[in-house]
């Protein structure tokens, strides 16, 4: 590949760099000035990653919220130019749901095309969806399979709730897509489970588990235990798979704790002060985990003066 490029460069020295030539032939237009300075807020749509979206919905105990819009409909265009640029609106969508979107062809069958733009004078050209702006069109075409066998709402924009098992749960109140962020939040709070995790919660939980595994490998048990205790705080917000993942990450710590507790028991028969030292270590290294709690109890018992 490199040698081919090199050969081509050597053969065409007069034409200059290929990129410059490409720019000359096809200068992608710059995005509007306001977009150059403000940018477009990011959001992660489900796209065609529906298995992952359903898993995320189950893990976070929220629904998939599928937005339905259509080309050639002024209300859909208005939604895109207001809501897609509203960071708070997108934040609510990501906190309270797993957001997905479809953008249907116009009633005459025509469809918008991707556009090639540059974000600044210096930026390389990129392709994007002209209505969603921050992603490619595949992010909305990929979710169309969610609509299989589903009756389309008459009034668009509309949004449908799907469970993590792919079941259609219902429709977001018809007027909400025409209203502001506050109305959206109220409507979603009304529908949500008593406790649910945001995307950020789930990310933090994963980070705690990752660190706990790493600390175990490095023999930093106290730091790892602290990560596991921190992760446990998210339990009631998360689905059952995440609890299993926590158990799996915790298992080596439990094994380590059991081995130390057994040793303390054996040592205790011959050397009380070494037993107490070892129990102190277990209580400190595995604080908040079952072996640490057991060690703390044993220590308390050992140090309490016995009544004669």
Residues that bind Zn ion (CB under 5 A): 129, 137
Pairing of strands 158-162, 168-171: antiparallel
User: Which of 129, 188 has the CB closer to Zn ion?
Assistant: 129
Helical (H) or strand (E) element with 70: strand 63-70
**Nearest of 61, 54, 51 to residue 205 by alpha carbon:** 61
Q: What is the rounded CA–CA span in Å between residue 59 and residue 52? A: 10
Instruction: Provide the minimum distance between the beta carbon of 111 and Zn ion in the complex, in angstroms, as a whole number.
Output: 8
- The nearest distance, CB 137 to Zn ion, in angstroms, is 3
9 or 82: CB nearest Zn ion: 82
Shortest Cβ 208–Zn ion spacing (Å): 37
Answer yes or no: are the C-beta atoms of 60 and 202 closer than 8 Å: yes
Give the CA distances from residue 267 to residues 44, 254, 272, in Å, rounded to whole numbers and listed in that order. 56, 20, 7
| CA angle, residues 176, 178, 183, in degrees to nearest 5 | 40
Residue 125 vs 290, nearer CB to Zn ion: 125
CB-side neighbour CA atoms (13 Å) of 75: 14
Beta strand pairing call for 97-104 and 63-70: parallel
Minimal distance, residue 161 CB to Zn ion, in Å: 23
**CB within 8 Å of 43: residues ≥ 6 apart:** 90, 93, 94, 99, 134
* Least distance CB 115 / Zn ion (angstroms): 9
- Cβ proximity to Zn ion, 117 vs 137, nearer residue: 137
| Chain-centroid distance, C-alpha 159 | 21
CB-nearer residue toward Zn ion: 16 or 32: 32
Return the closest-CA partner of residue 195 out of 62, 294, 72: 62
DSSP calls for 75-99:
HHHHHHHHHTT-HHHHHHHHHHEEE
Do 245 and 259 form a contact (C-beta atoms < 8 A)?
no
Nearest approach in angstroms of CB 139 to Zn ion is: 8
Bond prior to 241 in cis (omega within 30° of 0):
no
Of 184, 205, 178, 167, the closest CA to residue 60 belongs to 205
Smallest gap from residue 245 Cβ to Zn ion (A): 35
Nearer to Zn ion, 45 or 216 (CB): 45
Which CB, 104 or 137, lies closer to Zn ion?
137
**Closest CB to Zn ion among 129 and 197?**
129
For Zn ion, which residue has the nearest CB? 129
Residue 82 Cβ vs Zn ion, minimum distance, rounded to whole Å: 17
């Amino acid at each position: 590949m490199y040698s081919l490029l090199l050969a081509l460069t050597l053969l065409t020295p007069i034409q200059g760099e290929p990129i410059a030539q490409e720019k000359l032939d096809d200068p992608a237009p710059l995005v509007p000035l306001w977009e150059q300075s403000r940018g477009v807020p990011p959001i992660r749509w489900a796209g065609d990653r529906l298995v992952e979206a359903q898993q995320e919905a189950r893990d976070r105990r929220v629904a998939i919220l599928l937005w339905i819009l259509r080309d050639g409909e002024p209300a859909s265009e208005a939604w895109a130019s207001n809501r897609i640029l509203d960071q708070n609106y997108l934040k609510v969508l990501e906190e309270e749901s797993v957001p997905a979107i479809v953008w249907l062809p116009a009633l005459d069958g025509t469809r918008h095309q991707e556009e090639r733009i540059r974000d600044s004078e210096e930026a390389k050209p990129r392709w994007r969806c002209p209505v969603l702006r921050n992603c490619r069109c595949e992010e909305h075409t990929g979710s169309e399979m969610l609509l299989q066998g589903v009756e389309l709402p008459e009034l668009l924009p509309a949004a449908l709730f799907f469970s993590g098992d792919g079941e259609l749960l219902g429709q977001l109140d018809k007027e909400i897509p025409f209203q502001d962020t506050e109305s959206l939040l109220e409507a979603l709070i009304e529908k949500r489970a008593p406790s649910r995790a945001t995307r950020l919660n789930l990310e933090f939980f994963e980070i705690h588990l990752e660190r706990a595994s790493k600390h175990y490998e490095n023999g930093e048990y106290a730091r790892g235990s602290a990560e596991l205790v921190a992760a446990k705080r998210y339990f009631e917000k998360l689905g059952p798979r995440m609890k299993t993942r926590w158990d799996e990450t915790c298992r080596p710590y439990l094994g380590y704790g059991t081995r130390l507790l057994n040793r303390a028991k054996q040592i205790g028969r011959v050397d009380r002060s070494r037993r107490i030292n070892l129990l102190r270590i277990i209580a400190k290294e595995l604080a908040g985990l079952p072996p640490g709690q057991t060690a703390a109890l044993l220590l308390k018992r050992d140090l309490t003066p016995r009544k004669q």
